[in-house]
Amino acid sequence: SVQAWCATARLMTLLDETKQAAAALPLAREFMAVAERRFGPEHSVTLEAISYVGVLCNDVGAIDEAVQLTQQVYDALLRQTPSDDDEVRRPLFRSRGHDMTLSDCGEQLARMLGQHGRHSEAAEMLKRLLTDLGEPFSEDERSSWKWLKQKLADELASAGNLDEAAGVMAQLLTQMDDGSRPQEQQQFQSEQLRTRLRSGAAI
């Protein structure tokens, strides 16, 4: 019933908020199964539920299942996005309401991989995400795009690919010098990137 479903969701959220991921995981799986039956496998509610199970799996150390579930959500979101419709692609960087965006999901997947020392895989995920997102449209999206580039450089450096990481950072430094930002902010951010470039590792 709807009441039972809502009660399950409330209990699941409470357990998660109190850092009881292992106890929340069975309820989250039940919620995911109900969502899939009720709404279908690629409805936004179902995808959010699958993603949540992935997060809990990651929290309890089941990284392979966490990656598989999060990848499943990412692929579904990508299938739902027409590649030739710029207006539809605009929200990919930022959420509109509670629905997960392609950027949210890709970042989550890369973060999971990086947390477990799988830095090469995390870097490949970020490369794919940047390709799938395409060029940013607005200043906010450009900021998100540059942040993803910084995360890519961090993961490359952590994986030992220092030359490639330096190339990504050099590209970012060039873009920082395009005159589009206030000089003080531009200088501060450029210096941060130069520090990353000199260290050759994530900070």
pLDDT digits (tens, 9 = 90+) for 94-145: 544 447 788 999 999 999 999 999 999 999 999 999 998 887 767 777 888 8
pLDDT at 101: 87
* Mean pLDDT, range 68-84, rounded to an integer: 88
d(CA 41, CA 37): 8
Q: Which helix (H) or strand (E) holds 157?
A: helix 139-158
User: Which amino acid type is present at position 160?
Assistant: G
- Model confidence at 196, pLDDT cuts 50, 70, 90, reads low
Percentage above 90 pLDDT, the chain: 40
d(CA 90, CA 135): 10
Using alpha carbons, select from 148, 149, 155 the residue that is nearest to residue 118. Answer: 155
The whole-chain average pLDDT of the chain stands at 79
- Model confidence at 17, pLDDT cuts 50, 70, 90, reads low
How distant, in Å, are the alpha carbons of 58, 60, 80, 190 from that of 67? 8, 13, 20, 33
* Mean pLDDT, range 184-201, rounded to an integer: 55
What residue segments make up the domains of the chain, in order of their start? Answer: 1-80, 94-104+121-202
pLDDT at 92: 54
More confident residue, 203 or 118: 118
Q: Are 197 and 170 in contact (CB under 8 A)?
A: yes
pLDDT at 174: 78
User: Which amino acid type is present at position 129?
Assistant: L
pLDDT at 6: 57
If you classify domain 1-80 with CATH, what class do you get? mainly alpha
- Model confidence at 177, pLDDT cuts 50, 70, 90, reads low
